[in-house]
Amino acid sequence: MPSPRSHLLPFLLTLLALELVVTAGIPYNISVSDQSPTIIYKPELDTYPNLGWNLTYTDSSYATYSPDAIGKGISAHNTTVQGATATLSWLGTAVYVRLDASVGNVSVVVDGTKGAERSSDDGIMFVKGLEEKWHTVVIQVTGRAGVKLYGITFTTVVGLGQDYPANAKIGTINSTVEPIYTDNATGTMRINETFDVSQGDWDTQTTVGSLATNDKTVYNRLQATRNSSTVSFNVPDNTSLVLIYGSVGDNHRSYQITLKSPSVPSSSPYVANNTNNVTTPTTQTFMGESAWASVDQVLYYAALDPTIQYGVRVMHTALNTRVWDMSEVVYIKADGAGTSSAGRGSSGGGGSSKTAIIAGVVGGIAAIAILAFLIWFFYYRRRKAHKSTAQEESFDPKSFEIDPYRDPNAFVVHIENRDQDGTEEEYRNPTTSPTTVHRSQNFTNSNRDPLSVVTPLLQHHDQQMSVPESAEGQTNVPPLMRETKARTMNRGQNAATSRPLPVTPTISTAESYGVIQERDAGMYVVNGDEEVDGNETVPPSYDPQWARRP
């Protein structure tokens, strides 16, 4: 019979598996400023506060404003229009809105039903614990005191639907600017072949700012100047998140981004992963206009299924007199390889990848070692228990023959019998003891169960052990051992039954590990032709009649 503790083996293996693997993506935070085109403002953008959303900078004044001037300081969009909204959509599990608004003047709601909480410093409103899917947060002005929005941080998912070790970490994200153009040996500038710019008019720009305010700064980028100009590129393998960075300004207008995948029909409104969960809409349109110019703004982001191939196409949809540009594309992977540049699908951070591989190998070896130890431990305990039982059953029946010249009532052999209610007996293996039998001992007043081989730590556990709930429900492990109460053994035998008639030896049942014990054979009268004085007492295992048969 296996040890009661062997029932713990599946439980411990389950806990080990839960420690090693989780079936979800890795949370990853992205922050966008109030100037990111991914935030959609209504009713109006870049207007007076009483008409719509007005952009301000702490260190820039409209008194010295000129087109293309770069804003300085901290930016914010503010309005006093009741009902005005700022909206952002993302795939993830949480959102944090940085704003300045008194209680009662603003509401922050996710998916139209989930209201936000306000942090203790009264500067952040947030919603957490959302399901991993596409969400929309709406910031709405509800009072007349006005609202000032600084930016939004949201938690997305890297490696959606994949299995990763519980201690998996994203490697350091090193944003690498893919050169929009390259300088060959002759010094001629040309657009990087990574980007397909065969449709429309594209050129390269190196500075941002206004000559009037003397704030021009170097910022390399690829710029479209004609309507319907498109740029396309393929996303490298195993990418979980893609972001596009660029500038915004007074001369920027609308652009449309399409996320393509051969795994999804072109008519589908969303790009789905291989578990059919919605990730990112196939096509989105944004507005790059901003009164004050700013660089390195998040123009686009998409959470991807790393097992699927993707392509991205950007179209400039504004009039020919307006522009749109992009400075870099960043790819993020969940394997610790960090980011890769947009060129040729190559990835950076090779050292981090090697470190992750080494860590994975070490972790795997440790897990195998722990698993092997658990299997050995429970197998050893079970084998030891079987060996102990085998030793108890290994005895010499001759050692239990009763001396006919002694009173058999003075001794009693203790036979282990757990089937009789109210009685527990035990025996000592005669092969390992100098005595054949031992005197009865009364355990009535003893606190220790003579049959128990369970350690004190496992005694008195009458309740069940519970296992943490799983997806299928709660599972209970049987109790390790029920506490056995000591009971008084029945010692008495009367004279009438002390020497019964010859009977067949009793053999213990399969459920009672007993000793095959013969009873006293009683008196034997010799035939009349041989006179014998008195009765002859013989050992119980000797039958003279059998010996004298013809």
The predicted structure's pLDDT at residue 451: 34
pLDDT digits (tens, 9 = 90+) for 169-216: 544 444 445 556 666 666 666 777 788 988 888 888 889 998 887 888
8 Å CB contact between 274 and 309: no
**pLDDT exceeds cutoff 90 at 257:** yes
pLDDT band of 441, cuts 50, 70, 90:
very low
The predicted structure's pLDDT at residue 238: 81
Q: Please tell me the number of Cα atoms within 13 Å of 85 on its side-chain side.
A: 11
The predicted structure's pLDDT at residue 97: 97
- Which range has the top average pLDDT, 105-114, 175-184, 234-243, 259-268? 105-114
Which range has the worst mean pLDDT, 119-128, 281-290, 358-367?
358-367
Chain Cα centroid distance, residue 175? 28
3-state secondary structure labels for all residues of 283-350: EEEEECECCCEEEEEEEEEEECCCCCCCEEEEEECCCCCCEEEECEEEEECCCCCCEECCCCCCCCCH
Chain Cα centroid distance, residue 486? 47
pLDDT digits (tens, 9 = 90+) for 487-503: 333 334 444 433 333 33
Question: For residue 336, what are its two tokens?
Answer: 């610790």
Which residues touch 425 (CB under 8 Å, ≥6 apart)?
414, 415, 416, 417, 489
Q: Is the pTM of this model over 0.75?
A: no
293 or 198, which is more confident: 293
398 or 229, which is more confident: 229
pLDDT band of 384, cuts 50, 70, 90:
low
The predicted structure's pLDDT at residue 127: 97
Question: For residue 38, what are its two tokens?
Answer: 């991914």
Distance (Å, whole) CA 149 – CA 35:
10
Q: Return mean pLDDT, the chain.
A: 68
Tokens 């020919």 belong to residue: 320
Q: Give the DSSP letter string of 499-543.
A: S----PPB---TTS----BPPP---BPPPTTS--SSPBP--TT--
pLDDT band of 485, cuts 50, 70, 90:
very low
pLDDT digits (tens, 9 = 90+) for 397-428: 444 444 444 444 444 444 444 444 443 443 33
Which range has the worst mean pLDDT, 59-73, 102-116, 382-396?
382-396
139 or 423, which is more confident: 139
Look up residue 388 and give its amino acid: S
Distances (CA, A) of 162 to 89, 351, 410, 450, 526: 23, 23, 75, 55, 92
The predicted structure's pLDDT at residue 227: 92
The predicted structure's pLDDT at residue 256: 96
Chain Cα centroid distance, residue 273? 20
437 or 103, which is more confident: 103
Percent over 70 (pLDDT), the chain: 49
404 or 235, which is more confident: 235
Which range has the worst mean pLDDT, 17-21, 395-399, 461-465?
461-465
Distance (Å, whole) CA 452 – CA 358:
48
Largest CA distance in the chain: 149
CA neighbor of 153 nearest in space, from 97, 203, 99 = 97
